[in-house]
Structure 1
Amino acid sequence: MAEEEDEQSPEREWASGTTLHGPAKVVDGPNLVVRLLWLALFLVSLGIATYLITMSFIDFFSWGTVTDVKLEFTDQLEFPAVTICNFNKFEKDLLCMDQRAVEYLRPLIGNDAICETDNSTSPTPGPTYYPMSLAGITAYTGFQMDRYALKECTWRGETCTWQNFTHVFGEYGNCYVFNQKTSGTPLQQIIPGQGNGLHMVLDVHEAFYTENPATGGSSDVGVKVHIHPQGEPAKMDIQGIPIGPGSHAYIGISQVTYQNEVPPWGLCEDLDLEYYDTYTLTGCLMECMAHWVESECGCTALELPGNLSYCEPQLIVDCVLGVKDQITTGVLACNCPTPCRIQTFDYFVSYAGWPNHIVEVYLGEENNVDMEYMQSNWASIDVFYEELNFEQITQKKAMTPGDLLSGLGGQLGLFVGASVITIMEFVEYLLKRLTYCCRKKKKNKVSASTAQVWTADKVDPLALQKVNMLQETKMYKE
């Protein structure tokens, strides 16, 4: 046989032995026509596979997402926190007990006739002993969640009191949170429907209102109720359900959880907050506002977290309100990305006229008030889960790296029969291709030496031994 047939070229060797479908038929076909048919079929299959693979990469790097909605039922649900604020920041009967407090708050309330005696109240001027600061005055003269304001309270049919509420400062002064996050076990609702959650009857003390709409005060009467997750602060000026006196509000709630993807698929990011354990959009916004107020005004707003002393009333008017307006309009920016996990409570509110004459008998006589007073001052509120289920909305990657690899493997396997083994075969071919020239030169050198030995008149034993050693070395390397 010719020496050229002793060793095939790397290309022919790879084509004949690869697990890739087609190349072996192209090089080993019985005639030219068959080889051309197989070549055409292989190229068409390879083109389709290339197109599908390209589309898979385009889909993957478009970072698309899909939304999965799931409704799950349970035996019990964790009850949310319920924050309650009165629209009135300062109660006239308490505020007017000390004229110094009235003068101190003059920039905020701006009502010169606030302490004039009328038929509804009889203030008794005199010195008080609470701190003459915005926090001290607000805590003492603001809305009090005591037995005079909380006329009735039950949780799952059992009596609760003002001691079950936690005091916080908010945009409306004194606010109170039921089921505030503590180290204990959160309250659970085990039966759906009205009467199995929180029930309250509140006296808003309408006669003691000091709010003046002309100076930015509220013109409403009643309370604001906000339902939110535990650990998330309430921003009551933009959140909450307003409830007026003389009505019974039924607030049916349902829990919704959103799970968002991180970049580049989504936009969510959980930042570390300074004053709150859990990252929430409201908490981030409040910390951002606190930062700008402290930076621009040199003090901490009463309703915001912070470490500086509370802002004085005049400074609130001159600086704090302007800073908040700049944040609202976007002049001062806040970097508050979407949280990766958001828990909210959808609610449906229905109202009924309240009270009826029977309530006047058993509550009115007990508190020494008549129907007219109850309709002008009292509000009944029920907060409850309508059903013991929760909705989970999850943003998912439209194509994960695993999906991409599965698609690539399926397309290559279907059209050209390629696999990981095929890739290793191609790597082996490249190595042989790179070393082919060197091996060919060695072979030519050995062939020339052999011819020289056997064509001589006399065989040289040393030369023959050298040729044999070269051939053995070649066989060992191969």
Structure 2
Amino acid sequence: MSSSGDGESARAGERVYLHIYDYETKEFSGLTTYHGLVRIYNSNTWPSRIFWCVVVLSCLSLFMIHSGYLLLGYHSKPTLFQVKTIVVSDGMSFPDITLCNHNPLKMSRLSDYNMSKAVQSYLLSFLDDHVERDDLEEEHRAFEEYKRSYRLQNERNFSTADFFFHVRPTCDDLVLSCSFAGEDIENCCTNSEVALTDIGYCIRFPYSMLKKKQFVSGRGYGWQFILDRSSDSAPDSPILSDTGFYLVVQEPEKEVSVRSKGLSVPPGATLHAGISYRNVSHLQRSEWGFCQQKWSPELHGSTPIGLKYTLAHCEWNCLLQEWLLTCGCRPMTLSLNISTDAGICTPYDMHRCANVVYENAMKCDCDIECDLIDYDVQVSYSELAISTTQRKFNFSEQYIQANISVMNIFFRSMTYERHEQQKQLQTADLLSNIAGSMGLFLGMSTVTLLEIFIYLFKSVWGTVNTERQKQFMEAMMEEENERRQSLVIVEEPHRQASLAEELAHVNGSHTRKRLSRRISVVPLHIHMDKRGSNNLSFRDAPLHSQEAAAHRNVFSSRKSLVSSAFDRRGSTMDGAISSLSPKFQHHRKSIAVGALGRRGSHLEGAGEILITRQGSMAVMPHAYRRSSSVAVTTGPSNRRPSVQPSDDTLHLIVNHRRPSAHPKHFLI
């Protein structure tokens, strides 16, 4: 007995769970905006339910795939550049201008050192970081011998850096004249400085000293330099195979490689350099970019190079560290503000270490700087006007063609571009895209997500919490009791026909016509609870029998007419009852009607088998779930029903129609 009792208790608990799930699912499917759920829940047939399940699952799959692509794109950290063109009204400041001679030595100054051609050629190799010559060892021995003799003669060690600085071409040697916007500038070399580059010492005209601005675009409103290379100062060396000058346009306080950025002009020619520039801002790694704001000891280690962070400076710093680590010295071309006492590598040292250094230097972790100015120079050339140069400097035609060059440097337009790197997708954009996809495929919103969460919580909570189950059962029992007390029973007193006779009479009346295959006859009765009710008077109405002289009846005042259940197309139970009985003064407050049929139909809840007196009719059970229209009749058409004070039961016939007729219409 105990085991059977436990089994029944378990089955009862399972039924409670199913009732809770069914109730919550019904409420959720009727309220949520999630597309397709209500159609799945209210489907009449399995093919329809399967179809809508496939549709909902397909849309859910498409939503998940599309959202996955959106998340993948977001985590790839896409960026874009916003470009603005800015027109300058107060003039454009010139960048720093660096001028270099292809020949880093002045022959007239070499006489102070009294060195051989082999030593001169070896010293020029200090400016080359890739030395590959067969006679390199012989030149190295000659250079070592020269240093010993120099120390004996001058009582100090020979310094390679001092040597190149002393024998370099000065600004007065290099620049014959300069002018800005057609106006000659006297002693323009006083506004210049010496700069050590990767090809030796050069002359630089920084903006901080000249402070020149161009207000009108074009060649005649910028700089013009006339340069002299002094061919008699060129040493006889295979290293110096080129002649002419280098021009470098660069951002202030930033070093660049002349070999990479330099523009070359040969003797006897005029260089026209039109400048335009872009102000570029990059994002740091923490903001989806790849720029570096400043030196980082974790990434770059020690920074012996004393310059602010740029991509070029980072590469040089990495290369310098490899030279110091591998060879214990530094190349001549990497001596930019170096805070170390390491000596300068000889060409022989560079020949031994270069391959290892450049192989390891490829592992440098260098990012572009976050803010930079990128100068774009468009170059054109023309032949030098020899006659004009002769009148100005009194040089021969042969000397001008062999040594003189002219550089015109100007801004092409009074505008520049502002390039700002930005995130292509913000977090708000990602949420907006996912929400749009969710609305497109599922019809959902944030409120729908909250509804789903509440539905799941209430469903799970109802299965694990006994107090919730108890409350649910009490609510169901109270609702059932109220429904039973609010039903109406009406009976005709003088009618002695039995239930079998009534059914036979109904069947006989229907057999006289050709029955439609769409109609099934189901009897319905209305129950009247006389307990605690009030007496309501009738309005004046035609009387059909002598017993109906005093029409009185008793109806429960606890429930009003449920007309909202029949709100579609104007059909209500009010009209059905009014056609069967005299009109009441307060009939909208006296009759309560349930609903019968499948979920959501108009007569759900009234399908109960009630124990009544003999002569009443039973109705279909509540489990009858056919979608139906309802037609109310009273048997033979020649009998007009009337309600008397002593009536107990009125027999009604409910015709259930199939869904293809007129679903959910209450027909009188």
Q: TM-score, normalised by structure 1?
A: 0.74
Are the equivalent residues in 2 in contact too, given 1:130–1:137 (CA < 8 A)?
Answer: no
Residue pairs, 1:39-58, within 5 angstroms: 41-58=55-72
Q: Point out where structure 1 has 5 or more consecutive residues left out of the alignment.
A: 113-126, 452-478
Work out whether 1:194 is the aligned partner of 2:224: no
- Post-superposition shift, 1:7? 9.2
Deviation string, structure 1 residues 255-284 (Cα, Å, up to 9, x no partner): 135555656997723163444654322211
1:357 alignment counterpart: 387
AA in 2 matched with 1:235? S
- Matched with 2:405 is 379
Q: C-alpha distance in 1, partners of 2:319/2:473?
A: 88
Residue matched to 2:376: 346
Query: Is residue 89 of structure 1 aligned with residue 109 of structure 2?
Result: no
Q: Distance in 2 between matches of 1:308 and 1:299?
A: 10
**Shift of residue 200 of structure 1?**
0.7
1:142 paired residue number: 168
| In 2, Cα distance between equivalents of 1:436 and 1:65 | 49
Q: Is the 8 A contact 2:74 2:430 kept in 1?
A: yes
Equivalent position of 1:167 in the other structure:
194
- The 5-angstrom pairing of residues 58-457 of structure 1 reads 58-64=72-78, 71-75=85-89, 76-99=91-114, 107-109=122-124, 132-146=158-172, 148-158=173-183, 159=185, 161-179=188-206, 182=208, 187-210=212-235, 212-213=237-238, 217-260=239-282, 268-270=290-292, 272-273=294-295, 274=303, 275=305, 278-304=308-334, 305=336, 306-309=338-341, 311-312=343-344, 315-320=345-350, 323-324=353-354, 326-328=356-358, 333-364=363-394, 369-392=395-418, 397-440=423-466, 443-444=469-470
Report the Cα distance in structure 2 between the residues aligned to 1:385 and 1:429, rounded to whole angstroms: 69
The answer to whether the 8 Å contact 1:130/1:136 transfers is: no
**Which residue does 2:28 correspond to in 1?**
14
Task: Tell me if structure 2 keeps the 8 A contact 1:226–1:240.
Answer: yes
Q: For structure 2, list consecutive stretches of 5 or more residues without a partner in the other structure.
A: 1-14, 126-134, 139-152, 296-302, 478-668
**Which residue matches 1:462?**
none
CA RMSD after TM alignment = 4.0
Using CA pairs below 8 Å that are at least 6 residues apart, which structure has the higher relative contact order?
1
Cα distance in 1 for partners of 2:157, 2:376 equals 40
Q: Given that residues 258 and 342 in structure 1 are in contact (C-alpha distance below 8 angstroms), is that contact kept between their aligned partners in structure 2?
A: yes
Is the CA contact (8 Å cut-off) linking 2:293 and 2:370 kept in structure 1?
A: no
Question: For 2:292, what is the secondary structure of its paired residue?
Answer: coil
Instruction: Provide the secondary structure at the position in 1 that maps to 2:333.
Output: coil
2:340 is paired with a residue whose SS is coil
How much has 1:371 moved relative to structure 2?
2.7
1:304-338, Cα deviation, whole Å (9 max, x unpaired): 232234645xx421223554555556666433234
Q: Secondary structure at the match of 1:379?
A: strand
**Cα deviation 1:325-378 (Å, max 9, x = unaligned):** 5555666643323444553222222222223213212222xxxx3332222222
Letter in 2 for 1:192: S
- Match of 1:291, SS? helix
Query: How far did residue 288 of structure 1 move?
Result: 1.8
Q: How many residues align?
A: 421
Contact 1:203–1:379, Cα closer than 8 Å, also in 2:
yes
Q: Percent identity?
A: 20
CA distance in 2, matches of 1:387, 1:446: 81
- Alpha-carbon shift at residue 250 of structure 1 (Å): 0.8
Q: Alpha-carbon deviation of 1:56?
A: 2.4
3-state SS in 1 of match to 2:309: coil
1:52, CA displacement in angstroms? 2.7
Counterpart in the other structure of 1:116:
none
- Contact 1:83–1:175 under 8 Å retained in 2: yes
Cα pair 1:222 1:243 within 8 Å, conserved: yes
AA of the residue aligned to 2:189: W
What residue in structure 2 maps to residue 118 of structure 1? none
